[in-house]
Structures are given as structure tokens and as C-alpha cells.
Amino acid sequence: MRKPERVTSMCSLVWLRSDLAREDAQAYWRGPHAEIANKVRAINEYLQHHFSASDHGFWPVPKEVGGAIPADWRVDGMAEVRIRSMAAGLFSRLFHMKAVFHDEFNVFDRVLANNSRPGGGRWWTGAHQPDIGFRAAVLIRARHEEKGAPFRRFVEEALAPALIEAGAVELRTHVFQPGGRFIHWTPDVRHDQPVNRAYAGALIVGTRTRAEFDCLMKSPFLLATHADQRRYCVAIHAYAVEKTYAGVLDNNPQQMTLKEVT
């Protein structure tokens, strides 16, 4: 297995406005809002993962680990961002992202930004693959006593290698630093996150088909990590990604109408 590429990343979990039709909110997110975000110069890659409203909670959790997603905490999507460096991200946060922040209330009820430490994201299978047939976003709550370095080692040394061995065609992992809501504060949008709902990391897992993904979930390589999942995780929440849209790929902003990539 080749060594993964280290990246500095941010994953923003989003809840669409509940007073808008879901299709209208999704169209605004991938259209006018993305056109603003695409202009931020610190971004090397910007992907929008639009989650299924009904296909979720399918990670095969071991006993004592939560897998069902609470009805009052279902995330609508995630923006996955690769930035050039933490310094470039902070500079853009201070000087270039005002337009992005002041547009969020047009489409989101809640935004929870989660930053990796510098180089804390991992591209296990290389750059984003636009022809993936099925993609899932997996959000992980860590046990309090295992947060930080122990949880990061679990993801990078146990869980990710198991997924690769099991047949994941696309895999990216992100381990979050605490305090994202204090860095990414925007007007008229909720940033509340109860401590019993906070996530410590996210995975993007892709296969050629949904059937292949279901087989991957039953793989002995993944099942062999169940003891570690119980040790390090409180909950593992999986969402099927209905569509992924690319705003920026390999430092290049896409056209004004986002390219649909899956």
C-alpha cells in the first residue's frame, strides 16, 4: 500500500434551510454560493457532497457504538476543502472570505466547520476521482479519553488501511482539531454543536458500485477493526452521497455552473 498524501483540509457540515424546498436550497448551494467560494485563492480543491435524505446509517457498527443517525441531527451535506496551507487559510479567513460568510444565511440553517491540523488530512488513493460510482461520507464521534493523537492513529493506522485492503477505490480521511466553530463564525447562521453530537473525523469512501460498497462493509478486513472501533468510537454515521459537485479541482476553478462529477 502506497503512503498517503498529506493535505491540510477543512470539512464543513451543513444543514440546509428548513424553510426552503430541498431542491431549491441544493441548487443555490451548488450555484450562486459556490461561485463565491470558488474565488477564494487559498483553496486548492473545493467539493460539495450532497447527502441522501433517506440513505444513511448503514455503517456496520459493533455493539456499544452508535450507527443510527438521530432524526434531529441529520446533516444535509459537507463541503470538503483542501487549502494550500494553514497560513494561507487564515489569511483568506481574515481578508477574502467575507463574501462567502455573508452569503451562508441565504442557504444554510447551520454550518459546522472542522479543520484538520496542518497536513492532518490524508489522500490514500490520490486526487478526487470524478468517475466513482458510489460514494459515502462517514462521520465519526470519538470517545473522550481517546481524542487527539490516539484517535488519529486509529484512523490512519487501523481503519484506513483496512478499508484499502477491503477494496475501497477512493479514500480520503480527515481528523479534526477542536474549536472550528470559533474560527468559522458567520452571521445569522447557527454554529451550535452539543458535545454529544460533535464529530472528531470524517472519511470519504468510494467504490465502483453500491454493491461493491456493501461487500466492502462486510469485508473481514473491516470486521477485524471492530475491537478498535469500540475502543476509539462512540458513533460512526454513514451517509450515501447523492451527488458530488466540484467547484475547484487541482487549483483550477470550474465554470460558473458547477461540474457534476458523480
The burial class, CB within 10 Å (0-12 / 13-18 / 19+), for 173 is buried
d(CA 186, CA 100): 9
pTM: 0.91
Convert the pLDDT of each residue in 79-100 to its tens digit.
999 986 454 444 344 435 678 8
Number of domains forming the structure of the chain: 1
Residues of the chain with pLDDT > 70, as a percent, come to 87
d(CA 49, CA 184): 19
> Looking at residue 101, what is its pLDDT?
85
**Beta bridge pairs of residue 12:** 79, 113
CA dist 24 to 27, 28, 79, 108, 256, Å? 5, 6, 18, 12, 17
What is the CATH number for 233? 3.30.70.100
**Which residue range(s) make up the domain with 30?**
5-260
> Looking at residue 144, what is its pLDDT?
95
- Let me know: does 155 contact 233? Beta carbons within 8 Å: no
The burial class, CB within 10 Å (0-12 / 13-18 / 19+), for 145 is exposed
**Beta bridge pairs of residue 171:** 205
pLDDT band at residue 261 under the 50/70/90 scheme: very low
Convert the pLDDT of each residue in 55-87 to its tens digit.
999 999 999 999 999 999 999 999 999 986 454
Convert the pLDDT of each residue in 224-238 to its tens digit.
999 999 999 999 999
Sign of the dihedral defined by the CA atoms of residues 32, 38, 13, 26, in that order: positive
